[in-house]
Amino acid sequence: MPDLDFWYSIGSTYSFLTIMRLDDWCSEHDASVTWRPFNVRTVMSQQKNIPFAGKPVKSAYMWRDIERRAAKYHMHAQLPAPYPISDLALANQVALLGMEEGWGKNFTQILYRIWFEEGVEAGSETALSEALHRSQQDPRLILSRARSPDIVAALEAETLRAIKLGIFGAPSLVVGNEVFWGDDRLDDALSWARVGHVI
């Protein structure tokens, strides 16, 4: 079974497509994917990679492209979703804590639904609390633990690992040392994992 790392950041718009379809895609292709939240804002600020802020034409295209592709995948979405999100670090700290405890993937999928289907900004305490609640977690307790120095440091460490791999944006699929950026590169990554080239 091919083994891939899915590096994502809550706050990334195109990650919506991947987060919503990845489970089905894994079943269909008999693939196994490890979900790895990181702080894409740290990475992109460091690399002066500002794809949408101050770029209205490219931003409008991004939403239209997501809309067309969401329809292709039969996903419901109210677009544009609130963007950018406020507390990107906190959202991903919660996700990382959840990964350690086994509820992180479910939480991420629910939070993206709240963000993209219900229009509540994903870095807000409202959205985070609601997503935790729907994940059968105690929002007050989890938000407090997600803010602890341990989890803050853990997300920073994962972000450093992402940078060392050559990641510059989200979502990214990684197979060994090969980075595949974008929801539209899932099949390339799988092909690489299986046969060592893109077919």
Exposure string of 175-190, with b = 16+ CB inside 10 Å and e = fewer, is: beebbbbbbebbebbb
Kindly tell me which of 47 and 148 has the beta carbon lying closer to its own copies: 47
- Residue 181 binds to its own copies (criterion: CB under 8 A): yes
**Cβ distance 20 to 75 under 8 Å?**
yes
Could you give the residue numbers annotated as active site? 12
| Strands of 3-8's sheet in order across | 32-37, 3-8, 172-175, 178-181
Which of 149, 100, 104 minimizes the C-alpha distance to 128? Answer: 104
Q: Of the ranges 96-104, 115-123, 150-158, 179-187, which one interacts with its own copies (CB under 8 A)?
A: 179-187
Q: Which is nearer to its own copies, 54 or 149 (CB)?
A: 54
Closest CA to 53 of 83, 76, 29: 83
Stretch that binds its own copies, among 82-90, 96-104, 133-141, 161-169 (CB under 8 A): 161-169
* Helices vs. strands in the chain: H and E counts, helices first: 9, 4
From residue 34 to residue 73, what is the string marking binding to its own copies with x (rule CB under 8 A)?
Answer: -------------xxx----xx-xx-xx--xx--xx-xx-
Min CB(135)–its own copies separation in Å:
31
Nearest distance in Å: CB 89, its own copies: 21
- Tell me which DSSP letter residue 102 carries: T
Nearer to its own copies, 65 or 130 (CB): 65
SS3 string, 9-70, reads CCCCCCHHHHHHHHHHHHHHHCCEEEEEECCHHHHHHHCCCCCCCCCHHHHHHHHHHHHHHH
24 binds its own copies (CB under 8 A): no
Query: Smallest distance, Å, CB 164 to its own copies?
Result: 11
The residue (of 103 and 180) whose beta carbon lies closer to its own copies is 180
Nearest-approach distance from CB 69 to its own copies, in angstroms: 6
> What is the sign, positive or negative, of the torsion defined by CA atoms of 137, 116, 88, 169?
positive
Q: Which residues bind its own copies (CB under 8 A)?
A: 47-49, 54-55, 57-58, 60-61, 64-65, 68-69, 71-72, 166, 168-169, 178-181, 184-185, 188, 192, 197-199
